[in-house]
């Protein structure tokens, strides 16, 4: 009887571990993190998207410090994804079609350093994927891509009211997005 119980517990252990997802994280900044949240949450394999700050030197920065101060941080999203359903390269493709890679002053109506576009890499393979995609875009458009690419260091989660803003404040979000001309500009860049 004891052997049967051990065997049964072993089977339960094996089945519970085999269903565990292997996840990873990616970090991108494309101006307003509310818009980036929306873009990535719709992607297959994405488990969660969190708004926050990265790339600078100030620890635990606030929105006000990032936007109006000298923290060196960008508004970014942390993307938690299931590696069996998507990968960094696919997420990078989503990133590009949701930004203006030629705007050196920010993104859409949001201007300033913290709103510049940036792709972070954690591995040399991710760095190579970013660099190769930049070359492809520059060749296609015959323009210089000004999007930063930086080695990832730390991510700081933004204030609670920024999380899922596009869902929880839907009307305000749509007014902001339309007012910024984000979709129109993206269509002009990527659909022509």
Burial of 6 (0-12, 13-18, 19+ CB in 10 A): exposed
Q: Is 32 a catalytic residue?
A: yes
* pTM of the model as a whole: 0.88
What digits encode the pLDDT tens for the residues 116-141? 999 999 999 999 999 999 999 999 99
Compute the average pLDDT of residues 107-123: 97
What digits encode the pLDDT tens for the residues 22-66? 999 999 999 999 999 999 999 999 999 999 999 999 999 999 999
Select which of 32, 35, 109, 180 is catalytic: 32
Q: Which pLDDT band, with edges at 50, 70 and 90, does 21 fall under?
A: confident
């Amino acid at each position: 009887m004891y052997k049967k119980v051990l065997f049964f517990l072993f089977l339960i252990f094996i089945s519970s571990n085999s269903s565990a997802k292997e996840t990873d994280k990616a970090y991108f900044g494309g101006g307003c993190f509310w818009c980036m949240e929306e873009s990535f949450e719709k992607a297959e394999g994405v488990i969660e998207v969190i708004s926050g700050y990265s790339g600078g030197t100030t620890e635990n920065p606030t929105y006000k410090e990032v936007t109006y101060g000298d923290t060196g941080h960008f508004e970014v999203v942390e993307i938690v994804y299931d590696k069996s359903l998507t990968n960094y390269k696919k997420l990078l493709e989503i990133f590009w079609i949701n930004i203006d890679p030629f705007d050196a002053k920010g993104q859409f109506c949001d201007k300033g350093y913290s709103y510049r576009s940036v792709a972070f890499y954690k591995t040399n393979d991710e760095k190579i994927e970013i660099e190769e995609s930049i070359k492809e875009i520059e060749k296609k458009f015959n323009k210089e891509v000004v999007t930063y690419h930086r080695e990832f260091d730390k991510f700081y989660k933004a204030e609670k009211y920024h999380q899922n803003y596009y869902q929880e404040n839907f009307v305000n979000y749509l007014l902001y997005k339309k007012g910024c001309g984000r979709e129109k500009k993206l269509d002009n860049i990527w659909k022509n």
